[in-house]
Structure 1
């Protein structure tokens, strides 16, 4: 999976790291927030925070998504854990207001917490045949 590939790639560059996947399939920012404290063990140096897509697919208010991510970033900052925030973009069928509000979440929070931002987690993958499962989402 992704974590094995990431760990191997970092190892090949001389980084002795352990990469663990604390994600849950189908998870939302509410679920991620609820389990953050116990799913990120003491000693963790970096978290790749990639949540929000399932919120968007379920039509969760961008305000709720932002609030949950904000709280997660605050907790990680308090624990002095570095973060790479992986952004997502809203599907256009949700309308321009939703899209605008959702798409602003990730750059706004990255700036607020001064964390690294990968603007669109699916960059180079979305819409590419052979890079996604048949459902077009995964």
Structure 2
């Protein structure tokens, strides 16, 4: 069994997934809009809104879509947690994700890790970046 985060966006899924692919060094495996999807005529979504996207980077898999504005709720109560063994790479990923976002805990060494930081990116996705190397 596998699990992966499924992220919802208020019309910015395509932009967010392009950003995540660049920052994480991954690729978008699938991206389809409502306009490209069979059976979506008459749905209350813009034709260019993303109905489903999938991204892979190393062992990370993210999926997501845009959702109707009346059903959109900002993400809360969870973080996408990245475990990175190289402290320099972990810092670079964290700083890139937080560009234009809101840092809750700056990336720094902790008692459990050579580096840890958390915050919410400019798309509203909460992230934790943890270096798996001990301090």
- Pick the structure with more strand per residue: 2
- Pick the structure with more helix per residue: 1
Please state which band the TM-score falls in when normalised by the shorter chain. under 0.3
Higher Rg of the two aligned structures: 2
